Amino acid sequence: MVENGPFVDLHLHSTCSDGGDTPEEIVLKASKLGFSCVSITDHDTCKGYKKAHGAALKHGVELISGIEVSTSLGNRSVHILGYMVNPKSEAIEKIVSTAEKGRLERMKRIVSKLCKLGYRVDIGGVIRFTGEGVLGRFLLAKYLVSIKQFKSTHEVFSKVLGDEKPAFEPVPGFSPSEAIELISEAGGVSSLAHPGGSFSTEEIEGFIKAGLDGIEAFTPHHGPADEQKYMDIASRHNLLVTGGSDSHGNPDYRRQIGSVKLPYRLVESIKERTAQEVTTG
């Protein structure tokens, strides 16, 4: 969906979760690439949004608050994006605190599974490698590559860490419907991230019945057929359409800021929906 500017990217990750760019670097890149608005949607935290404020003002890039809440459905990951949330709300604080408590125990279970599979890895090394980021599969995959257990993060996910793979562990905490409700309580709107071929029509309709506001149609994870499929679903159910690069700042990935350029009217629609929910809530 490339139209005339101004352009937006509504799915970006920083060093505050599992990205390679600082929040400030993301804003600078966005400015140089001609983006007028971005949303830093770090996993289970709004730290990136808070840290990017100064750079956004300096470079004239509009910044809307965002978060990507990690949930699970059985043995599959479900990521729910939240936009225009209040980072200081009790609902966001609940998401952050629950994630922090659950991720360490989850990582210990994953590391245990990897050791049983014959890989040389220890939880202390993973924690040191993660630093201030969020303990999750992507940084674990990068760590495994750095210690030469695998050749690429793609190989890690395809062999051991992907959904339903031998070392997979679901994120403890929330169901998709609970995440949707918490985002609403935080004053924001929710969108199903990169659905791809991961969910049946019935499952997506279940998320919609739970209050889902939008669906991410435009992402490097999707081809033209997927984009049209989710545009059609959005049209049928009066959902917001969102999208973005899902950039993690990894130069080896095609998911880089600038790889997806979307029109500003998507942001206008989010703002309109948020205003409506405040008025009718």
What gap in Å lies between CA 116 and CA 122, rounded to an integer? Answer: 12
CA distances from 235 to 138, 218, 231, 240, 256 (A): 33, 14, 6, 9, 28
Please give the structure tokens belonging to residue 95. Answer: 């998401």
Q: What is the pLDDT of residue 277?
A: 60
Taking the C-alpha atoms of residue 213 and residue 233, their distance in angstroms, rounded to an integer, is 12
CA angle (118 as vertex; 114, 120 as ends), nearest 5: 75
Burial 34-47 (b: 16+ CB within 10 A, else e): ebebbbbbbbbbbb
Q: Any idea which architecture 7-87+173-280 has in CATH? A: Alpha-Beta Barrel (3.20)
* Average pLDDT, 10 consecutive residues per value, the chain (281 residues): 78 93 96 96 95 95 97 90 97 94 91 96 94 87 95 94 91 91 98 92 96 97 94 97 91 78 96 72 45
pLDDT score, position 102: 87
Is the CA virtual torsion 266, 38, 41, 260 positive or negative? positive
The per-residue pLDDT for 280 is 43
- Of the candidates 194, 224, 155, 173, the one whose C-alpha atom is nearest the C-alpha of residue 11 is 194
Q: Domain map of the chain by residue range?
A: 7-87+173-280, 96-161
According to the CATH classification, is domain 96-161 in 1.10.150? yes
CB 210 within 8 A of CB 232: no
pLDDT attached to residue 45: 95
